[in-house]
């Protein structure tokens, strides 16, 4: 009990020391205030932006983009990953192309997408979908193709139809791996959202907030963006973990 409290207190030491140094350095004017704003300025700027509606709007715009892309990308990823896992023919047809395309660093597609899909909302959502697509395909494929043969054989004994085998045996057995893929997709989609907002045409969003802040040299605005990006990332992460635990609660741990 006291040991765990001690470890919590220890965890607070480094952030508090950094915050202290930050206060000291900015109040004593040791650095250029343009390069490092005062911590309290970040808070007042956050309140000001909130009152002007410059936080909620961009936040919702980014989230909407993120979730739409995540949904499209994961759905496509689930279908293709499952098809590759179930059918050897599909795997052989699509596998090599998929693995070759996967090698290209994700953001390198953005300039190409901007020619094909414009620089507006469409290109952003397509890019975020792509970011979510890869991990879902990989993990779904992995999960579906590693379902134990004995499970499927039991299904045969019970004369399950193909659909029943899929629905009652393969899907539950592959679920942990599928969730792992979706979780990764969530992280990549958020990364992709920020990247798409930096690299494609300006539209309301958290990434755009930071770009604006940088261009007008308002570090408080940039820091606000960094904090928002972190909070959104952490919230989505926690939510995903909860959903995962809930959906997999029927699993008996350790067999």
Partner 1 sequence: MLQANTEQNLGAFEKAGPSKRPARSSRPRNGYLLAKGLGLLVPATLLLAWSVAAAKQWVPPQILPSPASVVDTLLEQVRSGDLFVNLGISLGRVVAGFAVGGAIGLLLGIAMGLSRTVEDYLHPMFKAVSQVPVLGWLPLAMMVLGIGESLKVAIIAHASLVPVALNALKGIRGVSRNYIEVAKVFQFSRRQLLGKVVLPAAVPSLFVGIRYGITQAWLSLVTVELLASSEGLGFMIVWGRQLFQLDLVLSAIIVVGAVGLLIDKSLELVESRLLRWRPRVSFEAQAAGALPSTTAGES
Instruction: Give residues in contact with partner 1 (CB under 8 A).
Output: 6-7, 10-15, 18, 35-36, 88-89, 92-97, 100-101, 103-112, 114-116, 145-146, 148-150, 187, 190-191, 194-195, 198-199, 207, 210-211, 213-214, 217, 219, 222-223, 225-227, 229-231, 233-234, 237, 254-255
- 8 Å CB contact between 180 and 192: no
For partner 1, give the closer residue by CB, 125 or 222: 222
Q: How far is the CB of 28 from partner 1 (least distance, A)?
A: 19
For partner 1, give the closer residue by CB, 57 or 230: 230
Encoding tokens for residue 29? 């004017």
Q: How far is the CB of 193 from partner 1 (least distance, A)?
A: 9
User: How buried is 14 (Cβ within 10 angstroms: 0-12 exposed, 13-18 middle, 19+ buried)?
Assistant: exposed
Per-residue DSSP letter, 31: S
Encoding tokens for residue 66? 């993120």
Q: How far is the CB of 235 from partner 1 (least distance, A)?
A: 9
CA-CA distance, 133 to 219, in Å (whole number)? 34
For partner 1, give the closer residue by CB, 71 or 198: 198
For partner 1, give the closer residue by CB, 136 or 209: 209
- 8 Å CB contact between 39 and 26: yes
Q: Which position has the token pair 């599909």?
A: 90
- 8 Å CB contact between 175 and 243: no
Encoding tokens for residue 255? 């067999």
Q: How far is the CB of 32 from partner 1 (least distance, A)?
A: 10
For partner 1, give the closer residue by CB, 179 or 190: 190
CA nearest neighbour of 114 among 211, 190, 204, 200:
200
Q: How far is the CB of 176 from partner 1 (least distance, A)?
A: 13
For partner 1, give the closer residue by CB, 114 or 129: 114
- 8 Å CB contact between 192 and 128: yes
Q: How far is the CB of 44 from partner 1 (least distance, A)?
A: 18
Q: How far is the CB of 18 from partner 1 (least distance, A)?
A: 8
For partner 1, give the closer residue by CB, 2 or 7: 7
For residues 175-213, one letter each, b for 16 or more C-beta atoms within 10 angstroms of the residue's C-beta and e for the rest, the string is: bebbbbbbbbbbbbbbbbbbbbbbbbeebbbbbbbbbbb
């Amino acid at each position: 009990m006291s040991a765990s409290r001690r470890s919590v207190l220890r965890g607070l030491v480094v952030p508090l020391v950094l915050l202290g140094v930050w206060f000291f350095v900015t109040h004593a004017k040791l650095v250029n205030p343009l390069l490092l704003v005062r911590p309290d300025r970040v808070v007042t700027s956050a309140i000001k932006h909130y009152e002007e509606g410059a936080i909620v709007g961009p936040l919702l715009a980014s989230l909407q983009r993120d979730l739409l892309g995540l949904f499209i990308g994961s759905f496509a990823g689930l279908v293709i990953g499952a098809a590759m896992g179930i059918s050897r023919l599909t795997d052989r047809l699509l596998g090599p192309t998929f693995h070759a395309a996967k090698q290209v660093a994700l953001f390198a597609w953005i300039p190409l997408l901007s020619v094909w899909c414009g620089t507006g909302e469409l290109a952003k959502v397509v890019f975020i979908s792509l970011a979510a697509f890869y991990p879902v395909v990989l993990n779904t494929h992995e999960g579906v193709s590693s379902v134990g043969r004995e499970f499927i054989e039991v299904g045969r004994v019970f004369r399950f139809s193909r659909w029943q085998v899929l629905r009652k045996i393969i899907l539950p057995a592959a679920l942990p791996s599928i969730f792992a893929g979706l979780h990764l997709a969530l992280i990549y989609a958020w990364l992709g959202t920020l990247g798409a907002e930096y690299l494609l045409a300006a539209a309301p969003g958290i990434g755009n907030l930071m770009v604006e802040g940088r261009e007008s040299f308002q570090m408080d605005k940039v820091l606000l963006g960094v904090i928002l990006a972190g909070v959104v990332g952490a919230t989505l992460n926690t939510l995903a973990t909860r959903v995962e635990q809930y959906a997999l609660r029927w699993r008996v741990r350790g067999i």
